[in-house]
Every structure is written in structure tokens, then in C-alpha cells.
Amino acid sequence: MTRPNLAAICAATLSWLAWAATAVAASPSPSSGPAGDPRSSGQGPGLVGDPAFALLAVVVIGLISVVATLLYLRATARRSI
């Protein structure tokens, strides 16, 4: 088995860093945006989306995880020698 060449690793790392771009963020100063919750139509905070669908999705994901766990346990049960 050959050992990795340290010079090649350093050269690859330096070339990767040379091509990296600088991330530019937004200005930290406050903006003059509209006041209030932008997700509602001027009424103030409220429920966004469909809460019944979210609850159903959580229940379905929970049931799928329980079934998958039980199937895994059944498939990998300890075998007696």
C-alpha cells in the first residue's frame, strides 16, 4: 500500500482554497420594511399553512417509523445456536 504524497495533498488543498469564493451577507443595518407579520394579510400573527395536514404528516411519519423498527427487529432477531 502506498502512502499519500504530502506535497500533492498540500497542493490540492491550496488550489481548492484559491478557487473558493467569498460569501457576502446582507447589510446588518435595519431596513425600512413593512411592519407586522409578512405572512398574514395585515391581521397580525396567525396560523400559516394547514395545521391538520401537518398533524397528519407527523402521525404518518411516526407510524412509518414504528413499522420500520418492528420489521427491522423481526428481520434481525437473535438466532439461537
Chain centre to alpha carbon of residue 35? 30
CA distance 73 to 64: 14
Which helix (DSSP H) or strand (DSSP E) does residue 60 occupy?
Answer: helix 51-75
Read off the pLDDT of residues 27-44 as tens digits, 9 standing for 90 and up.
777 666 556 555 556 555
Per-residue tens of pLDDT for the chain, all 81 residues: 567 788 888 988 888 888 877 667 777 776 665 565 555 565 555 666 788 899 999 999 999 999 999 999 988 877 776
CA distance 58 to 66: 12
Domain parsing of the chain, residue ranges: 50-75
